[in-house]
């Protein structure tokens, strides 16, 4: 796993992949998709796919892959190496979503929520496998949002594929377990070795699991708050945990386009509110040259 | 606009007597050029200390697309400057989890950029205020929220003003 | 000892970002004590506005503020909430002197020394205007002069002033053309369309625009006199535009009303205007600063993946 490619610029997303085994180009394949790091307030979210010939499902199962959450870190590392070394019939690919991209996408003017982001990433990975020449037949994945709707969406995009969206897919289908191991291993490695793009000396790495309710994570967040900048890009600004801390302890920042960030309820303000400015009827209108340029005489220091 | 402030809001070290602003002479700094009619009320003059300009250093300037309700220290070189990337379409960085897109803007030719600062308010309305030049700049980075900066930006359009003004105000003949 | 109190009434900083003519650095070299901001009467509004004397007091600049609501500065290793950019540009001090000449002519109607004319209790700094180099050189453009002994006496001349102003308009037109400023009767707006000067832009549009700019420095009467003198047709029956809520005619420069039409202009550059229609009327009444961004509210969702 060449994580250096991501680490060179971890403000951006990065796609990493194994070579496509020859057999996967000629035989019908199954593909599992899973993600790691959806919940944490820190670090990237990693989407993984793993695929192998349908006929070799049994071999994959014999590797004793299981839902990555039930495995220890050491077991996951060991299993990943196994998957990686059986590259004659197993392939994988990872899409690392930078925490910076998660923050900025979720908070952008045309809001892009985490589910949409997840769907698009999964779709992108299926397409990647197809483009790489994998002879795909079956796709298995855990659901994001309502399972049926998600399945319909995928079937519409990939009508030629047999798509199974199933809750707990990572413990039901070995190919999904394998994908979850790849994703989890990548996420853990990236988080452990996070290269801060900022120049902050050496922030300590005692950030725990990154889950908002992990005391270590909480503690790290409270120790590293900057009143102006908030946090380094490692932290997901779009998480309510982060929003709350910033709201309470950092300098207020207004952008002029917020509709709502705090409660998740989308109250859309009138378009007029973007333009509201103090009326001063006493001031005569200046020439449109100045109005169009937001230039006003300075009346006072 | 300015509310008369009394000397309790600042200290007038140079004064031998207990400082207050009752008289015209208190708190007077040497070398103040009387503008307008001496002693008249609300002359609203601000003197710029020329010495401070010679000593002022150039500092990096960033014009952000948001209002930050804070004054003073900011770890720009720790958090912001290293995170600025040159991507296709210009500079890019994020601030508080939002994407900023930027471009370097030079000050119009024939002009210089200065940051003026008022360190102390004068004791009384009658007294001139004093600004010092804190730093200078030849260019600054204009940051937009999510949209790449372009020549159509109001800021860029507004920088044509010195050229137009020069025509309006050139001496005739 | 009590710590310094925040300036009352606002979050405004005690720090300002300013663009000023480079000659400001000469003042530093000469240690000029005449680098001064002073409040003077702005002829257009008849109210006080900030001006900057530089070049040992020989040059005067007006100070405009580029002001967008949601802006702040990083300056070195500091943050400044106030995101304004002040721009000090040299102005012809005659525009400020003119106000006093006209007033003296109305009130006294006689030849007077200029020191007696340029007097203002409310803005005593106006006497500094007389130290500006162009004033003594330019007074003859706007006055009748009489010399008695070594002393000069002046009286405002509207005729001469209009000739002088016409020359200024012509000079401004030239620069407007070379600067690609969008002057076309307000149908297109430079805000949305990049300086693509339609072929239908007439000489008159330039003259009108230049007149509008120069009117920023003129009293209302003189503005109208100049308009007539330039032969600008009255714009009381404009092109087929929807009726607009009338501003007070006297206050508005002739073209200003047509700003409204920028919401009608159906341009390729505008990403979406279908949703605008409903909001047009109300928007026209609102402060338009920052309107540049409107298209962005409707811009298609950008994909973040890849």
Q: What is the mean pLDDT of residues A60-83?
A: 90
Contact (CB<8Å) A199/B82: yes
> Within an 8 Å CB–CB cutoff, is residue B29 touching chain C?
no
- Predicted confidence (pLDDT) at residue C110 exceeds the cutoff of 60: yes
pLDDT band at C234 (very low <50, low <70, confident <90, very high): confident
Report the gap between the CA of A32 and the closest CA in chain B (Å).
31
- Predicted confidence (pLDDT) at residue B17 exceeds the cutoff of 70: no
- Predicted confidence (pLDDT) at residue B122 exceeds the cutoff of 60: yes
pLDDT (0 to 100) of residue A214:
96
pLDDT (0 to 100) of residue B8:
35
Beta bridge partners of B93: B100
Residues of C in contact with B105 (CB under 8 A): none
pLDDT band at B124 (very low <50, low <70, confident <90, very high): confident
Asked whether the beta carbons of C151 and C113 are under 8 A apart, the reply is yes
Residues of A in contact with B69 (CB under 8 A): 251-254
What 3-state class would DSSP assign to A152? helix
Which is more confidently placed, B114 or C241?
B114
Contact (CB<8Å) B11/C121: no
Q: Which of C3, C8, C15 to mutate to test the interface with B (most CBs of B within 10 A)?
A: C15
Q: What is the mean pLDDT of residues B161-170?
A: 96
pLDDT (0 to 100) of residue C136:
86
In this complex, the residue of A107, A197, A199 whose CB is nearest that of residue B97 is A107
pLDDT (0 to 100) of residue A282:
52
- Please name which of A8, A72, A60 lies closest in space to residue A32, comparing C-alpha atoms: A60
- Predicted confidence (pLDDT) at residue C106 exceeds the cutoff of 80: yes
Instruction: For residue C171, give both structure tokens.
Output: 């000079």
B-contacting residues of C 98-127, CB under 8 Å?
Answer: 121, 123-127
Instruction: For residue A16, give both structure tokens.
Output: 């990493």
Report the gap between the CA of A199 and the closest CA in chain B (Å).
5
> Within an 8 Å CB–CB cutoff, is residue C278 touching chain A?
no
C-contacting residues of B 32-61, CB under 8 Å?
Answer: 32-33, 35-37, 40, 43-48, 50-51, 53-54, 59-61
- Other C-beta atoms closer than 10 Å to the C-beta of B28 total 18
Nearest chain C residue to A299 by CA distance is C49
- List pLDDT tens digits, range C171-221: 999 999 999 898 875 544 444 444 455 567 788 999 999 999 999 999 989
What is the Rg, in whole angstroms, of the alpha carbon atoms belonging to chain A?
Answer: 24
Q: What is the mean pLDDT of residues C261-274?
A: 39
- Predicted confidence (pLDDT) at residue A241 exceeds the cutoff of 70: yes
pLDDT (0 to 100) of residue B58:
97
CA triplet C187, C194, C214: central angle to 5 degrees? 65
CA triplet C235, C237, C239: central angle to 5 degrees? 90
CA triplet A69, A70, A71: central angle to 5 degrees? 90
Contact (CB<8Å) C213/B120: no
pLDDT (0 to 100) of residue C166:
97
Q: Report DSSP state, residue C224.
A: H
For chain B, domains (ranges, CATH) are: 7-169 (2.40.128.680)
- Predicted confidence (pLDDT) at residue A281 exceeds the cutoff of 80: no
Per-chain mean pLDDT for chain A:
90
For B111-125, C37-51, C273-287, which range has the lowest pLDDT when averaged over its residues?
C273-287
pLDDT (0 to 100) of residue B43:
57
Q: What is the mean pLDDT of residues B119-141?
A: 89
Helix, strand, coil shares of chain B, percent, nearest 5, are 20, 30, 50
CA dihedral A167, A173, A179, A181 (to 10 degrees): 90
- Predicted confidence (pLDDT) at residue B104 exceeds the cutoff of 80: yes
- Other C-beta atoms closer than 10 Å to the C-beta of A266 total 8
Asked whether the beta carbons of A90 and A60 are under 8 A apart, the reply is yes
Q: What is the mean pLDDT of residues A15-26?
A: 96
Instruction: For residue B51, give both structure tokens.
Output: 């010495």
| H-type alpha helices, C2-152 | 24-29, 94-107, 114-117, 133-142
Q: Which of B96, B115, B118, B121 to mutate to test the interface with A (most CBs of A within 10 A)?
A: B96
Q: What is the mean pLDDT of residues A5-16?
A: 94
Q: Which fold would CATH assign to domain A4-192? A: Nucleotidyltransferase; domain 5 (3.30.420)
- Predicted confidence (pLDDT) at residue B27 exceeds the cutoff of 50: no
Asked whether the beta carbons of A175 and A32 are under 8 A apart, the reply is yes
pLDDT band at A65 (very low <50, low <70, confident <90, very high): confident
Q: Which fold would CATH assign to domain C18-156? A: N-terminal domain of TfIIb (2.20.25)
pLDDT exceeding 70 applies to what percent of chain A? 91
Q: What is the mean pLDDT of residues A61-66?
A: 88
CA dist B84 → A229, A250, C48, C148, C252 (Å): 14, 22, 42, 68, 44
- Predicted confidence (pLDDT) at residue C290 exceeds the cutoff of 70: no
- Other C-beta atoms closer than 10 Å to the C-beta of C127 total 15
Which is more confidently placed, C33 or C61?
C61
Dist. CA A166–CA A33, nearest whole Å:
11
For C208, residues 6+ apart whose C-beta sits below 8 A from its C-beta are C183, C185, C232, C254, C255
Provide the strand spans (E) within C22-111: 36-42, 47-54, 59-66, 72-75, 78-80, 85-90
For A166-180, A195-209, C268-282, which range has the lowest pLDDT when averaged over its residues?
C268-282
In this complex, the residue of B68, B129, B154 whose CB is nearest that of residue A251 is B68
Dist. CA B59–CA C107, nearest whole Å:
52
ipTM: 0.87
- Predicted confidence (pLDDT) at residue C285 exceeds the cutoff of 50: no
Which is more confidently placed, C301 or B96?
B96
pLDDT (0 to 100) of residue C59:
94
CA dist C285 → A238, A276, C97 (Å): 35, 10, 35
Residues of B in contact with C297 (CB under 8 A): none
For A104-113, A278-287, C114-123, C157-166, which range has the lowest pLDDT when averaged over its residues?
A278-287
pLDDT exceeding 90 applies to what percent of chain C? 56
CA dist A187 → A79, A115, A129, A177 (Å): 15, 19, 21, 15
Contact (CB<8Å) B157/A292: yes
Asked whether the beta carbons of B11 and B26 are under 8 A apart, the reply is no
Q: Which of C53, C55, C63, C77 to mutate to test the interface with B (most CBs of B within 10 A)?
A: C77
Per-chain mean pLDDT for chain C:
77
- List pLDDT tens digits, range A116-169: 999 999 999 999 999 999 999 999 999 999 999 999 999 999 999 999 999 999
pLDDT (0 to 100) of residue C197:
53
pLDDT (0 to 100) of residue B50:
86
Dist. CA B48–CA B134, nearest whole Å:
11
Q: Report DSSP state, residue C257.
A: G
Nearest chain A residue to B82 by CA distance is A198
A-contacting residues of C 238-267, CB under 8 Å?
Answer: 247, 251-253, 255-256, 258-259
Element (H, E) at A177: helix A174-192
Report the gap between the CA of C78 and the closest CA in chain A (Å).
10
Contact (CB<8Å) C134/B171: yes
Q: What is the mean pLDDT of residues B75-99?
A: 96
pLDDT (0 to 100) of residue B90:
93
Chain region(s) in chain C for CATH 2.20.25.530: 18-156
């Amino acid at each position: 796993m060449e994580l250096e490619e991501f680490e060179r610029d971890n403000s951006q997303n990065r796609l990493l992949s194994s070579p496509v085994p020859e057999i996967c180009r000629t035989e019908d394949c199954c593909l599992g998709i899973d993600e790691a790091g959806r919940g944490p307030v820190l670090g990237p979210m990693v989407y993984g796919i793993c695929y192998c010939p349908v006929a070799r499902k049994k071999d994959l199962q014999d590797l004793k892959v299981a839902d990555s959450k039930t495995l220890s870190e050491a077991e996951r590392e060991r299993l990943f190496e196994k998957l990686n070394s059986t590259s004659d019939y197993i392939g994988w690919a990872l899409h690392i979503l930078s925490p910076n991209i998660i923050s900025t996408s979720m908070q952008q003017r045309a809001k892009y929520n985490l589910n949409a982001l997840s769907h698009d990433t999964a779709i992108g990975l299926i397409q990647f496998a197809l483009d790489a020449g994998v002879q795909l037949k079956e796709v298995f994945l855990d659901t994001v949002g309502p399972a049926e709707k998600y399945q319909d969406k995928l079937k519409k995009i990939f009508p030629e594929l047999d798509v199974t969206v199933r809750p707990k897919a990572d413990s039901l289908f070995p190919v999904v377990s394998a994908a979850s191991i790849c994703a989890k291993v990548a996420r853990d490695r990236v988080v452990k070795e996070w290269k801060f793009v900022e120049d902050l000396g050496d922030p300590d790495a005692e950030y725990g699991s990154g889950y908002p309710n992990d005391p270590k994570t909480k503690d790290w967040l409270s120790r590293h708050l900057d009143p102006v900048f908030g946090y380094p890009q490692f932290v997901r600004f779009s998480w309510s945990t982060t929003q709350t801390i910033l709201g309470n302890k950092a300098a207020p920042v207004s952008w002029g386009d917020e509709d709502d960030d705090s409660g998740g309820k989308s109250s859309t303000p009138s378009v007029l509110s973007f333009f509201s400015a103090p009326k001063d009827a006493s001031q005569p209108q200046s020439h449109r040259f100045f109005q169009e340029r937001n230039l006003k005489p300075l009346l006072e220091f | 606009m300015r509310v008369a402030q009394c000397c309790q809001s600042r200290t007038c070290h140079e004064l031998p007597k207990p400082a207050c602003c009752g008289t015209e002479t208190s708190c007077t700094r040497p070398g103040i050029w009387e503008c307008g009619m001496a002693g008249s009320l609300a002359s609203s003059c601000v003197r710029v200390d020329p010495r401070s300009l010679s000593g002022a250093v150039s500092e990096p300037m960033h014009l952000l697309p948001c209002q930050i309700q804070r004054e003073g220290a900011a770890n720009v070189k720790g958090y912001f400057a290293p995170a600025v990337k040159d991507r296709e379409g210009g500079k890019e960085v994020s601030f508080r989890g939002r994407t900023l897109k930027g471009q370097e803007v030079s000050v119009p030719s024939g002009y210089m950029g200065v940051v003026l600062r008022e360190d102390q308010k004068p004791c009384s309305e009658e007294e001139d205020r004093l600004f010092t030049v804190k730093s200078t700049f030849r260019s600054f980075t204009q940051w937009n929220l999510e949209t790449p900066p372009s020549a159509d930006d109001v800021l860029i359009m507004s920088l044509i003003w010195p050229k137009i003004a020069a025509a309006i105000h050139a001496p005739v003949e | 000892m009590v710590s310094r109190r925040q300036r009352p009434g606002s979050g405004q900083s005690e720090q300002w970002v300013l663009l000023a003519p480079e000659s400001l650095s000469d003042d530093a070299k000469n240690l000029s004590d005449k680098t001064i901001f002073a409040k003077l009467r702005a002829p257009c509004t008849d109210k006080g506005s900030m001006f900057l004397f530089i070049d040992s007091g020989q040059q005067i600049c007006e100070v405009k503020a580029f002001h967008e609501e949601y802006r702040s500065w990083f300056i070195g290793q500091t943050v400044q909430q106030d995101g304004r950019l002040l721009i000090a540009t040299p102005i012809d001090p005659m525009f400020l002197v003119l106000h006093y000449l006209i007033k003296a002519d109305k009130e006294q109607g006689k030849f007077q020394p200029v020191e007696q004319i340029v007097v203002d209790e409310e803005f005593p700094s106006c006497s500094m205007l007389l130290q500006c180099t162009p004033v003594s050189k330019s007074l003859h453009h706007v006055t009748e002069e009489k010399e008695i002994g070594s002393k000069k006496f002046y009286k405002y001349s509207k005729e001469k002033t209009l000739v002088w102003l016409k020359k200024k308009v012509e000079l401004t037109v030239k620069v407007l053309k070379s600067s690609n400023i969008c002057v076309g009767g307000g149908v297109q707006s430079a805000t949305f369309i990049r300086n693509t000067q339609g072929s239908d832009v007439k000489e008159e549009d330039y003259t009108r625009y230049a007149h509008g700019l120069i009117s920023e420095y003129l009293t209302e009467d003189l503005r109208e006199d100049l308009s007539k003198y330039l032969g600008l047709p009255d714009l009381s029956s404009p092109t087929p535009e929807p009726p607009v809520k009338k501003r007070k005619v006297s206050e508005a420069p002739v073209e200003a009303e047509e700003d409204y039409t920028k919401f009608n202009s159906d341009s390729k550059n505008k990403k979406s205007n279908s949703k605008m229609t409903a909001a047009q009327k109300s928007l026209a009444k609102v402060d338009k600063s920052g309107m540049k961004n409107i298209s962005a509210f409707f811009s298609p969702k950008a994909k973040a993946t890849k």
